[in-house]
C-alpha cells in the first residue's frame, strides 16, 4: 500500500497527544484506563470496536472521546495523532497499514501480525514512509526484572549465555484460543524476549507435545515444550501452559559460562504464619506486568512526541512472526524447522 497521507506532526508540548484505541476488549480497556488516568501528555480521543456497546461503554467515561463501530473510521476522527491497536492479531495488518498510510504513529499489541508475509508488508510500508512509526507491545522489554537480566547479560558479568530455561504459564486463555496460538500468541513473547535479551536471531524451532489425550475443557493440548536455537549457539526451552488453572507465571533462567540468573520467581505478598510460609501467584498478566505496561505506554507517548518509536520495532515484529511460522510447522510436523528471515532493511537514521 503506498504511503499517501501527510506525515502527522506530534502535538506541541502543551497539547496532549490524541490517541485512538482500536479494540475495546481486555487489553484495549486496560490501555484506555492507562492513557486516561496514568499517562500524562496523552488523552484517548477515539475508541473503536465492532462490538459497539463495548466501545461506547469505554468512551462514555472520558470527556471528548468518541466511539466508533468501524475501526478505520476512528483513525480519521478529529484530534487523532497516534493509534494504539488492541484488536486480535489477525486484524492488525489492516489497521497498521491504514495508520501508516495516514502517517500516524502506532503502538500495536503483540503479535504485530501473526503471519510473516503480512508482517513484512508492514515493515515495507513503514520503510516507504522513511521514518519510524511502529512500536510493538512486547511489554517484557519494559519489565524491571527483564531489564535487570538484560543488563547482566549485556555486561557479560556471568560470561556468555549458553541456555535459557523459560516457563510461561497462564491461568486460562480466551475460548477462541487455538493450538497454533500457543506459538503465535503466547511463545511469541519468548521469541521476542530471547532475541532482545541475547541480541541474537533465532535459527530453528522444535515443539514437543505430551502424548496424553487433549483436555476436553480447553481444546489445547497442554503443556508443550518449545525448544529453539540462536545464531549465537544458545539453546532456549519454553514450557508453555495455556490453561494451568492456578495463576500466571513467567520465569526465565539464564545459564551462563560462570553462573546462572533467574527472574520471575515471586511477585506478590509472602506470609509466614502458624508454622507455614506462603506466597501469592499473580492471576493474570494485567497484574504481573502492570508496571511494564505503564512504562511501555509512557515511553511510547514520549517517543511519539520526539518523532520516534520505543521497544520492539516492526522488524522485531516481523522476526517474531517468521520464527512463529517455523514454530507452527514444528508443532504440526514434530520436526526441527529452520527459520527463514527476509533480508533486513536499513535502520532509520533517527531510530532509538
Ligand atoms: N501484551 C500482552 O501481555 C497482551 C495480553 C493480552 C492480549 N494481548 C494482545 O492484545 C490484543 C487484544 O487481546 P485481548 O485479550 O484484549 O482480546 P479480547 O478478545 O479481549 O478483545 C479484542 C477486542 O477487539 C475487538 N475487535 C475485533 N476485531 C476488531 C477490529 N478489526 N478492530 C478493532 N477491534 C476489533 C473485539 O470485538 C474485542 O472487543 C491481541 O493482539 C493480544 O495478543 C497482549
Ligand atoms: O495474549 C496473551 C498475552 O500476550 C500474555 O502476555 C501471554 O502470557 C498469554 O499467553 C497470551 O495469550
Residue 217, CA distances (Å) to 115, 172, 175, 250, 331 in order: 28, 11, 10, 23, 21
| Binned average pLDDT, 10 residues per bin, the chain of 352 residues | 44 86 98 97 98 97 96 96 98 98 98 97 96 97 98 97 98 91 97 98 96 66 95 98 94 98 86 93 95 98 97 98 98 97 82 49
Mutate to test the pocket of ligand 1, among 21, 23, 24, 300 (most ligand atoms within 8 A of CB): 23
193 lines ligand 1 (CB under 6 A): no
Query: CATH homologous superfamily for 17-140+293-319?
Result: NAD(P)-binding Rossmann-like Domain (3.40.50.720)
The set of protein residues with a Cβ atom below 6 angstroms from ligand 2 is 110, 168, 170, 173, 185-186, 189, 285
Q: Domain locations in the chain?
A: 17-140+293-319, 144-288+334-338
pLDDT on residue 266: 74
- pTM for the model stands at 0.95
Counted residue by residue, the chain has a size of 352
CA of 64 to the centre of ligand 1 (A): 23
ipTM associated with this complex? 0.99
Which atom of ligand 1 has the smallest separation from the CA of 185? 43
Which residue lies with its CA nearest to atom 43 of ligand 1?
A: 110
Assigned CATH class of 144-288+334-338 = alpha beta
Which residue lies with its CA nearest to atom 12 of ligand 2?
A: 186
pLDDT on residue 348: 77
pLDDT on residue 1: 31
CA of 89 to the centre of ligand 1 (A): 7
Which atom of ligand 1 has the smallest separation from the CA of 137? 1
Mutate to test the pocket of ligand 1, among 55, 109, 189, 324 (most ligand atoms within 8 A of CB): 109
- Using CA atoms, how far apart are residues 309 and 296, in angstroms rounded to an integer? 11
Amino acid at each position: 500500500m503506498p504511503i499517501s497521507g501527510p506525515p502527522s506532526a506530534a502535538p506541541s508540548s502543551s497539547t496532549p497527544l490524541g490517541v485512538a484505541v482500536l479494540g475495546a476488549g481486555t487489553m484495549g480497556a486496560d490501555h484506555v484506563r492507562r492513557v486516561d488516568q496514568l499517562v500524562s501528555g496523552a488523552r484517548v480521543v477515539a475508541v473503536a470496536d465492532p462490538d459497539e456497546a463495548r466501545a461506547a461503554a469505554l468512551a462514555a467515561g472520558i470527556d471528548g472521546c468518541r466511539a466508533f463501530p468501524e475501526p478505520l473510521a476512528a483513525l480519521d476522527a478529529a484530534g487523532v495523532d497516534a493509534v494504539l491497536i488492541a484488536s486480535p492479531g489477525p486484524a492488525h495488518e489492516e489497521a497498521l497499514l491504514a495508520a501508516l498510510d495516514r502517517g500516524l504513529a502506532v503502538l500495536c499489541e503483540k503479535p504485530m501480525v501473526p503471519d510473516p508475509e503480512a508482517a513484512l508488508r508492514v515493515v515495507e510500508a513503514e520503510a516507504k514512509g522513511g521514518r519510524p512509526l511502529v512500536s510493538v507491545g512486547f511489554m517484557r522489554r519494559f519489565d524491571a526484572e527483564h531489564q535487570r537480566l538484560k543488563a547482566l547479560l549485556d555486561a557479560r558479568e556471568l560470561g556468555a549465555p549458553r541456555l535459557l530455561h523459560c516457563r510461561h504459564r497462564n491461568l486460562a486463555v480466551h475460548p477462541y484460543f487455538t493450538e497454533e496460538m500457543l506459538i503465535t500468541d503466547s511463545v511469541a513473547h519468548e521469541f521476542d524476549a530471547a532475541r532482545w535479551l541475547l541480541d541474537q536471531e533465532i535459527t530453528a524451532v522444535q515443539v514437543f507435545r505430551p502424548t496424553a489425550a487433549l483436555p476436553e475443557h480447553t481444546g489445547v493440548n497442554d503443556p508443550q515444550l518449545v525448544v529453539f536455537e540462536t545464531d549465537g549457539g544458545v539453546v532456549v526451552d519454553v514450557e508453555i501452559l495455556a490453561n494451568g488453572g492456578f495463576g500466571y507465571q513467567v520465569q526465565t533462567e539464564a545459564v551462563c559460562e560462570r553462573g546462572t540468573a533467574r527472574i520471575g520467581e515471586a511477585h506478590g505478598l509472602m506470609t509466614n504464619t502458624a508454622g507455614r510460609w506462603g506466597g501469592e501467584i499473580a492471576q493474570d498478566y494485567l497484574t504481573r506486568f502492570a508496571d511494564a505496561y505503564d512504562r511501555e505506554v509512557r515511553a511510547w507517548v514520549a517517543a511519539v512526541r520526539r518523532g520516534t518509536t520505543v521497544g520492539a520495532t516492526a522488524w522485531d515484529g516481523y522476526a517474531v512472526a517468521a520464527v512463529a511460522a517455523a514454530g507452527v510447522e514444528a508443532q504440526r510436523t514434530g520436526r526441527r524447522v529452520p527459520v527463514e528471515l527476509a533480508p533486513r532493511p536499513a535502520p532509520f537514521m533517527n531510530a532509538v
